[in-house]
Every structure is written in structure tokens, then in C-alpha cells.
């Protein structure tokens, strides 16, 4: 529904260049990412699976399959953040979710919350 609504809005704005093909590609990528993230968060998922998905979908701009030694701490920190926020989100009551009355913690940590590297 989101993609269909986006397609209609873009069309109404006067953009009609191969929009349907582009939206289908975008939808395929979107749902592929959802499946990859879901699978990486399952208890039976491989230990570094979430890190691999985050690397591929967020950090990798050259198509490389593994992060460099310099990038690895950032990917690990993001993976820990995603797991922590998912755990917190699972404790949030439905009313707060439906009304949008919830917050995520800051991505950058300082002091006692600093990321161990």
C-alpha cells in the first residue's frame, strides 16, 4: 500500500518516466531487505547474520560482502543498537505503538553507555 500510494503521489506530481518499473524494483528491494532483516533476527540465525545484512544494506557502497577492519566496529555497534532497540520495542504496549508515542534511544552513546570496541 505504501509503494502504491507513493507511486500515485509521484505521478500526480508529474513524474511519469518508467515509474511503474522503478516502483516494482523498489518494492522488490524493500521486501527483500525485510526478509533478510527478519531472518537475521531469528534465534536460529547465524551469529554474524545481522551484521552482514546491516553491512550490505546500510554501509557497503561498493558491493563488498564484508566490512573492512576499519568499518567493522561501526557495523558491530549498529547491530548491537538494532538488537537493543528491538528488545525495547517488544516491551512497548500496543497503544503506544499505534499512537506513535514511543522513542528510540540515541544512536551515539557517551559516558556509561559508550560502545565497547
Give the DSSP letter string of 4-32. Answer: HHHHHHHHHTT--SSHHHHHHHHHHHHHH
Q: What is the pLDDT of residues 66-84, one digit of tens each?
A: 898 999 999 999 999 999 9
Q: How many domains does the chain have?
A: 2
What Rg, from alpha-carbon coordinates, does the chain have? 18
Residues 38 and 1 both lie in one domain = yes
Residues 34 and 56 both lie in one domain = no
Q: Is the whole-model pTM more than 0.95?
A: no
Residues 37 and 3 both lie in one domain = yes
Residue 2's domain comprises: 1-45
The conformation of residue 106, written as its DSSP 8-state character, comes to P
Residues 84 and 65 both lie in one domain = yes
Q: What is the mean pLDDT of each run of 10 residues along the chain (117 residues)?
A: 74 70 82 93 90 92 86 92 91 92 75 38
Residues 76 and 93 both lie in one domain = yes
Residues 81 and 100 both lie in one domain = yes
Predicted pLDDT of residue 110: 40
Predicted pLDDT of residue 51: 94
Amino acid at each position: 500500500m505504501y509503494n502504491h500510494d507513493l507511486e500515485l503521489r509521484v505521478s500526480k506530481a508529474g513524474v511519469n518516466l518508467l515509474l511503474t518499473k522503478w516502483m516494482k524494483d523498489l518494492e522488490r528491494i524493500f521486501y527483500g531487505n525485510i526478509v533478510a532483516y527478519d531472518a537475521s533476527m531469528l534465534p536460529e540465525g547465524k551469529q554474524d547474520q545481522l551484521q552482514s545484512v546491516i553491512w550490505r544494506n546500510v554501509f557497503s557502497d561498493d558491493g563488498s560482502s564484508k566490512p573492512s577492519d576499519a568499518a567493522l566496529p561501526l557495523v558491530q555497534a549498529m547491530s548491537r543498537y538494532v538488537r537493543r532497540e528491538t528488545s525495547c520495542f517488544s516491551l512497548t504496549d500496543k497503544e503506544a505503538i499505534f499512537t506513535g508515542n514511543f522513542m528510540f534511544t540515541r544512536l551515539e552513546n557517551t559516558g556509561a553507555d559508550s560502545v565497547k570496541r
